Chains A and B, each alone.
Chain A
């Protein structure tokens, strides 16, 4: 089945550690996105990538890093510089953006809940 997978489902991190969240899609989508959700808030964009080997910062990129070496994969690293990393993280993808970016619905993975101990 086509879709987006995220792993792990739950992740616990000690303060000062970097952790990497996995996101893989087999929808052949060009664009991929990382969002963060906190209680009472909407989804906030961390990073996005419109094409392999290219990515841009979203609204809350500080303390995070990403890579896009393959079309199917867009891992997110939460670094020790992120002051408040405990949150729910969602990955999404959408078809190519060439002229159609705003009109393409996004497809979401199941999410990873990160807790800093």
Chain B
């Protein structure tokens, strides 16, 4: 089974701090890397689907970078707000064209006002 690792497991920051966390995935047979945000009492929602080495995607104050050669992606949040508090999941396609995703265990971010 392919392994997807996220670090840290949890993070507490103050409002206004910038933060980042890591997703590590197998560097061979790369198709794509997914990031999802899962807020408490809501459903997980896709943030980014990244496909190209060196790719950088941005959505508001959240951005992500991708290094497929070394097998990692960073998610950055600039000027964290309490509404950014959530669990951030990355996922790696399991095999071929099935659409299967293997999820990391997530990084839970708590932003204190």
Contacts and interface: CB of A to CB of B under 8 A. Distances in A.
Interface in A78-115: 90, 94, 97-111
B89 A101 contact: no
Q: How large is the interface on B (under 10, 10 to 19, 20 to 34, 35 or more residues)?
A: 20 to 34
Interface in A31-89: 31, 33, 35, 40-45, 48, 50, 56, 58-59
A28 to B, nearest CB: 15
Contacts of A43: 44, 89, 91, 101, 103
A54 B1 CA distance: 23
B105 A40 contact: yes
Contacts, number: 78
Contacts of B67: none
Interface residues of A, number: 32
A6 to B, nearest CB: 9
A105 B34 contact: yes
A94 B99 contact: yes
Contacts of B99: 31, 33, 48, 50, 94, 97, 101-102, 104, 106
Interface of A: 4, 31, 33, 35, 40-45, 48, 50, 56, 58-59, 90, 94, 97-111
11 contacts: A33-B99, A42-B4, A42-B104, A45-B100, A94-B99, A101-B93, A102-B93, A105-B34, A105-B46, A107-B46, A108-B44
